[in-house]
Amino acid sequence: MENAPALYATAWAILPPLIAIGLALITKEVYSSLFIGVLTGAVLYAGADFAGIANHVVNDGLIASLSDGWNVGILIFLVILGIIVALMNLSGGSKAFGGWALKHVRSRVAAECATVILGIIIFVDDYFNCLTVGSVMKPVTDNFRVSRAKLAYIIDATAAPVCIIAPVSSWAAAVSSFAGEGQGISLFISCIPYNFYALFTLVMMFALIFMKFDYATMAKFEMNAVENGDLFTVESENTQVDAATQGSDTGIVLDLVFPVLVLVISCVLGMVYTGGFFDGAGFVTAFSDSDASVGLSMGSLIALVIIVIYYTIRRTISFTECMSCVPEGMKAMASPILVLTLAWSLKAMTDSLGLADFVSGLVKGMSGAAVGLIPAALFLIACILAFASGTSWGTFGILIPIGLAITESHPELATPIIAACMAGAVYGDHCSPISDTTIMASAGASCNHISHVSTQLPYATTVAVVAFISYLIAGFSGGWVLPLIVGVVLLLGALFLLKGREGSYKVSDAANAGKMSDI
């Protein structure tokens, strides 16, 4: 690399994200923590040159992040989603759906299960999943005193972990783009049964719901919600945008269902359009070749126009009121956009310091080790890299090509090796405080971001430890059935042990059956 800094591709490259993550967890304040991480990266890059530091932060970090076409497309998508959510709330659609759901969802367990199922159904994209599921299910989970931290965990756990095992998703398209010519979506599909972290995450959610308990930090939040009616424990800057129960009383369930359906269909069509579906390409091929950023922006914009026309014709809200939701939706997304911008800038700092090359060198140096350990080792490295950088797709780009190179000499381990890279990247994306999906889950649940991170981390790490053991087994057995069965047994066994430990919180049957109004 020309003009590379003296610390390029060294262990120093991991320091900026470590500082940002550490400060965020200690101070409970994400903006300054991310900025200090960005500043640290600029200092390591430019040294004692003040002008160089300022230039690297502003030009190479903030401006470059906000001028990147992909990033801008994601920001447009988020703003439009915010506007649509504001429209659904103002029309009374969210309120009406909440009322309908409360008549049919009769227990706390059912409320949590409905949230998980809805998250699984919306598998097209993790951003769309986070904001849509949060908006739709908050009135229902609030009524049964499910803490916002628990809601954020369910949202996050049905975002990236579901997208990574859904062949028709923006994540399938991303993974396919990093694979070799002709492999693409077929490689992605073959990895699904080996994606132990994603599969075990789904088992984890349903197990916690039906076992009716929580542990670690989440136990405190759930106890406070059930026993004191405090859904937040720690207030959030996003709390003010939670207006699902303040909409019109004339709204009907269709006022929420129709916009969601239109948004899903429009986003899917937008993605396959960018992949050449309307030029003759097959649906799956078009999805694997799609540009998710452009497709989601295009689809959401078309959906917004249709939704405004629908509300205007139905006279639920006037056209003027529809337009008042534009600035409201943008304000609702201000906090996530700021955090995303800083997180992208932090990634730019780590890129300039050669974090990818540093990790690449580590991985290539271990290819001669015991062959059976390679999937587990790659899973662990992917976990660390994605957690530190806050990006799963960036981790895909680094590790999948390396994994493919390793499989040339070990073709029998091709699928578990690539699946391990994907699964480790999802763990990092799932629980890193600087991950865009984690940020979106916090926003979707209107939950304090650090509260979400601190409560989710023990759960995600429990699953990751079990997945690591399964990859050890897969590396030596070659198949997926045995490690999958062993992993599920280990996970359920660990949960039964944790349930009996002091410090776990067991939700009573009364709390599981009762509503906010009668607990």
- Note the pLDDT tens digit of each residue in 318-327: 899 999 999 9
Separation CA 1–CA 45 (nearest Å)? 13
Alpha-carbon gap, residue 56 to 53, rounded angstroms: 5
Q: Name the average pLDDT for the chain.
A: 83
Quick check: 361 and 397 in contact, CB under 8 A? no
433: left (phi > 0), else alpha (psi -120 to 50), else beta?
Answer: alpha
pLDDT (average), residues 444-472: 94
483 has a pLDDT exceeding 70: yes
- Residue with more model confidence, 387 or 466: 466
According to DSSP, residue 501 is labeled S
Res 330: pLDDT? 86
Q: How buried is 150 (Cβ within 10 angstroms: 0-12 exposed, 13-18 middle, 19+ buried)?
A: buried
pLDDT of the residue at 370: 64
For residue 199, how many C-alpha atoms fall within 13 Å in the half-sphere facing its CB?
A: 22
* 244: confidence class by pLDDT, cuts 50, 70, 90: very low
Q: Over range 478-503, report the average pLDDT.
A: 92
User: In this structure, what are the phi and psi dihedrals at residue 260, rounded to the nearest 5 degrees?
Assistant: -65, -45
Strand partners, 214: 505
What's the CA dihedral at 105, 114, 298, 253 to 10 degrees?
A: -10
Q: Is residue 159 within 8 Å of residue 441, measured between CB atoms?
A: yes
Give the C-alpha separation, 463 to 474, whole Å.
Answer: 16
Per-residue confidence (pLDDT) for residue 111, from 0 to 100: 93
75-95 pLDDT, tens digit per residue, is 888 788 788 878 888 888 877
The pLDDT tens digits of the residues spanning 325-381 come to: 999 888 877 877 887 788 788 878 888 888 777 766 665 655 554 678 889 988 998
Q: How confident is the model at residue 240 (pLDDT cuts 50, 70, 90)?
A: very low
How many angstroms separate the Cα of 100 from the Cα of each of 84, 214, 326, 446, 461? 20, 28, 27, 22, 36
439-475: string of b/e by CB count within 10 Å (b at 16+)?
A: bbbbbbbbbbbbbbbbbbbbbbebbbebbbbbbbbbb
Euclidean distance between CA atoms 200 and 195, whole angstroms: 9
- Prediction pTM value: 0.74
Specify the range with the lowest mean pLDDT, choosing from 102-106, 203-207, 403-407: 403-407
Averaged pLDDT for residues 447-453: 91
pLDDT mean over 267-291 = 82
Q: What is the model's pLDDT at position 241?
A: 43
The dihedrals phi and psi of 68, each to the nearest 5 degrees, come to -70, 130
Average pLDDT for residues 467-485, to the nearest whole number?
Answer: 93
Q: Where are the domains of the chain?
A: 69-183+237-335
